[in-house]
Amino acid sequence: MKTKDLLRHLNWRYATKTFDPTKKVPEKEFEALLEVLRLTPSSFGIQPWKFIVVKNPEIRTKMRPFSWDQSQITDASHLIVLCRISESKIEEHIEKYVLDKVKIGDLEPAKIQAYRERMLQTVRSKDEQELKTWLRNQVYIALGNILTSCAVLDIDSCPIEGFDKEKVDELLELPKVGLYSVAICAIGYRSLDDKHATMKKHRFPLSEVIMEA
């Protein structure tokens, strides 16, 4: 892709407020977007997440009042809840990750052990709050990745943090399985009467956001 095409896509995308409920993202493209989530980089490559595709329309209807009544929750073609694993599961997760890495066989056993130690040390050096924040931060990388990928595929999206996490977690029975929601991503196609589509992009100029050192 040429530079100008990349920037055209990123200028075209916007946080879609009104989706056309009749337009569905083709399954092949949606599957590619799930692969985008899977391929997201994370600290140590640890992938402390799960991405829940909410397929049941009844659940989406129930989620909407917990999400500032945002219409994207029910009207977008697809809805994904991006979750982090519980901080209490992190060491178990690291052990699973290490076993998986052993299976791949691209690192010598001694190196894998050193890597395991480093990961454990890192998570043990954080207090509970820091660990939660660190886990959440990993999930935001996946969110950024899918937003950009949607844009490149001419698919609209809306990142959503405006929701009551406790209520959504309870509805989806996430804590039972050691998960907590971080953000939601609504995916689909803009409605032609979404006024936000034609609003000017509001970003600070490059001279204000880039510094050199």
Binding stretches for ligand FMN (CB under 6 A): 14-15, 17, 70, 158-162, 183, 201
Q: Which of residues 26 and 41 has its CB atom nearest to ligand FMN in the complex?
A: 41
Phi, psi at 2, each rounded to 5° = -80, 155
Q: How far is the CB of 155 from ligand FMN (least distance, A)?
A: 14
Q: Based on the number of CB atoms within 10 Å of its own CB, is 153 exposed (0-12), middle (13-18) or buried (19 or more)?
A: middle
Q: How far is the CB of 38 from ligand FMN (least distance, A)?
A: 20
| Nearest in space to 82 (alpha carbons), one of 156, 185, 176 | 185
Q: Which of residues 4 and 200 has its CB atom nearest to ligand FMN in the complex?
A: 200
Q: Which of residues 12 and 26 has its CB atom nearest to ligand FMN in the complex?
A: 12
DSSP secondary structure letters along 51-78? EEE---HHHHHHHGGGTTT-THHHHSSE
Which residue number has the CB closest to ligand FMN? 162
Judged by DSSP in three states, 34 sits in: helix
Vertex 139, ends 39 and 132: CA angle to 5°? 140
Q: Which of residues 176 and 195 has its CB atom nearest to ligand FMN in the complex?
A: 195
Q: How far is the CB of 102 from ligand FMN (least distance, A)?
A: 35
Q: How far is the CB of 98 from ligand FMN (least distance, A)?
A: 31
Q: Which of residues 159 and 188 has its CB atom nearest to ligand FMN in the complex?
A: 159
Q: How far is the CB of 201 from ligand FMN (least distance, A)?
A: 6
Rounded Cα–Cα distance for residues 161 and 138 (Å): 15
